[in-house]
Amino acid sequence: MQQDALPADGTTQPAGRAGLFLRAGAFTGLLSAGLGIAGGLLEGALTGPWPDAADPDYAQFLVANRAPILAQSMLFVFSSAALLWFLGYVRARLLCAERTPGTVSAIAFGAGALAVGLNILGQAAQITLTLPSQARIPPEVAAAVADL
C-alpha cells in the first residue's frame, strides 16, 4: 500500500487525501460510538419496559412506541455504517504496520464486518415488527420474530 509522502516542513501529518482519510477514519469511530449511545438512550423514550413477546399487549406496545423504536433502530444501523468505515480505517493502519499478507488486519476487519452484519440483521427484525401493517400481529408471530 503506497502512502502519500509526509510534508517537507517536518510535521508528521500526511498531506492531501491521506490526511483527510485519517481524520475521517478516526472521526467515524467516535461517530459510531455516539450513535450507538444515542440509540441506547432512546430506551428511556418508550412508554414502559419491553413486554414479553408472548404478551397479548405486545402489538399495542409496538404501535404505541413505533417512532422511538424506529429511531433507535435507525441510529443503530447508522452506527453500524460508521463502524464499517472505521474498520476500513483500522485495517488500512494495521496493513501499514504489519507484513504481507496482513493476517491481523484481515481478521480484525472480518470480525468487525460480521458484527456489523449481525447488528443490521437484528435491527431488520425490530423494524419489521414496527411496520404499520403489523398492528394486529398475532402474539405467536411476534414472539418468533422477537426471538430472532
Q: What are the distances in angstroms from CA 64 to CA 12, 57, 69, 76, 143? A: 54, 11, 10, 20, 18
- H helices present in 1-148, as ranges: 16-41, 58-64, 66-97, 103-129, 139-146
pLDDT at 6: 42
pLDDT at 7: 47
Q: What is the DSSP string of 26-66?
A: HHHHHHHHHHHHHHHHGGGGSSSSPPPTTSTTHHHHHHHTH
What span, in angstroms and rounded, lies between the C-alpha atoms of 105 and 84?
Answer: 14
Three cell numbers at 120? 443490521
What span, in angstroms and rounded, lies between the C-alpha atoms of 138 and 58?
Answer: 9
What string of pLDDT tens digits covers the 148 residues of the chain?
Answer: 444 444 444 445 555 666 776 788 889 999 999 999 999 999 888 888 888 877 778 778 888 888 999 999 999 999 999 999 999 999 988 888 888 888 899 999 999 999 999 999 989 988 888 887 766 777 677 777 777 6
pLDDT at 49: 87
Residue 113 neighbours by CB under 8 Å, 6+ apart: 84, 87
